[in-house]
Structure 1
Amino acid sequence: MLSANAPAWVAAARACATSGPAAPRLPLLLGREPVGSVDAAVFGQIDLQPLLDERYQLSIVQHEGARAWAVTAPDATAALNALAHALRAAGHCGPWRDEQLAVCTPDGRRLATVERGAVRVLGLATHAVHLVGCTAGGAMWVQQRSLTKPNHPGKWDTLMGGMVSAADSLAQALARETWEEAGLRLEQLRRLAHGGDVQFAQPSDEAGGSGYMVERIDWFHATVPEGVRPVNQDGEVARFECLTHAQVHERLARGAFTPEAALVLAGFYGW
Structure 2
Amino acid sequence: MAFENLLQVVAHCDKFPYHIDLEHKDEIHHVVPLCLGPHVIGNILPSVLPHLKQYNDSQSPAPFVIASNVTFASWVDSFEKRTQVVKQLMDTWRAQTVFSALAGWRNELYPVYGDSSRVDNVAFVMERAATPLFGISTFGVHLNAYVRDQDNDIKMWVARRALTKPTWPGLLDNCVAGGISYKYSTKETIVKECDEEASIPADLAVKAQNASCVSYYTYTEHGLQPETQYIFDLALPAHFTPTPRDGEVQCFYLWPMDKVKETILNGEWKPNCALVAIDFMIRHGMINADEEPDYIEISYRLHRRLPFPTPKKGAQ
Fold match, TM over 0.5?
Answer: yes
1:3 corresponding residue in structure 2: none
Identity value in percent: 24
Contact 1:93–1:117 at 8 Å: present in 2 too?
no
- Check if 1:161 corresponds to 2:177: yes
Q: Secondary structure of the equivalent of 1:269? A: helix
Is 1:119 aligned with 2:131?
yes
Q: Deviation per CA, 1:81-105, whole angstroms, max 9, x where unpaired?
A: 1122233224225211111000113
Would the aligned equivalents of 2:187 and 2:206 in 1 still touch at CA under 8 Å? no
Aligned residues: 255
The residue aligned with 2:12 is 16
- The answer to whether 1:86 aligns with 2:92 is yes
1:59 offset after TM fit, Å? 2.2
CA distance in 2, matches of 1:186, 1:195: 19
Match of 1:4 in 2: none
Amino acid at match of 1:194: N
- Measure, in 1, the Cα distance between the counterparts of 2:206 and 2:238: 11
How far did residue 30 of structure 1 move?
Answer: 4.0
1:32–1:70 Cα contact (<8 Å) kept: no
- Return the match for 2:260 from 248, 260, 263: 248
Q: Answer yes or no: is the 8 Å Cα contact 2:210–2:233 preserved in 1.
A: yes
How many Å separate the matches in 2 of 1:253 and 1:12?
9
Q: Which letter does structure 2 place at the counterpart of 1:131?
A: L
Please point out which of 101, 104, 123 is paired with 2:110: 101
Mapped pair 1:187 → 2:203: yes
- Aligned 8 A contact 1:93 1:118 in 2: no
Contact 2:142 2:229 in 1 (8 A): yes
Residues 143-163 of structure 1, C-alpha deviations (whole Å, 9 max, x = no match): 100111111110001110111
CA–CA separation in structure 1 for the residues paired with 2:92 and 2:193: 30
| Corresponding residue for residue 174 of structure 1 | 190
The reply on whether 1:26 has 2:32 as its aligned counterpart is yes
Return the structure number with greater strand share: 1
Question: What residue ranges of structure 2 are gaps of 5+ in the alignment?
Answer: 18-25, 288-316
Comparing 68-77 and 30-39, the one that deviates more: 30-39
The 8 Å contact of residues 56 and 64 in structure 2, kept in 1 or not, is answered as: no
One-letter code aligned to 1:34 = V
**Residues 166 and 179 (structure 1), Cα distance of their counterparts in 2 relative to 1, 3 Å cut:** same
Q: In structure 2, the residue corresponding to 1:179 is in which secondary structure?
A: helix
1:185-210 residue CA offsets vs partner (Å, 9 max, x unmatched): 2422596322211111122221xxxx
Q: Identify the match of residue 156 of structure 2 among 137, 140, 145.
A: 140
Cα offsets for 1:48-80 (capped at 9, x unmatched): 0586223x512214xxxxx01122324111111
Amino acid at match of 2:275: L
Q: Do the aligned partners of 2:12 and 2:271 also contact (CA within 8 Å) in 1?
A: no
Which residue is equivalent to 2:65? 59
Corresponding residue SS for 1:228: coil
Task: State the Cα distance separating 1:260 from its structure 2 match.
Answer: 1.1
Q: 2:303 — aligned with what?
A: none
Aligned pair partner of 1:232 in 241, 244, 261: 244
- What SS class does the counterpart of residue 119 from structure 1 fall into? helix
- Other structure's SS at 2:144 match: strand
Specify the code of the residue in structure 1 equivalent to 2:245.
Q
1:145, 1:157 within 8 Å by CA — same for their partners in 2? yes
For the aligned residue pairs, the C-alpha RMSD in angstroms reads 2.3
Q: Which residue of 2 aligns with 1:76?
A: 82
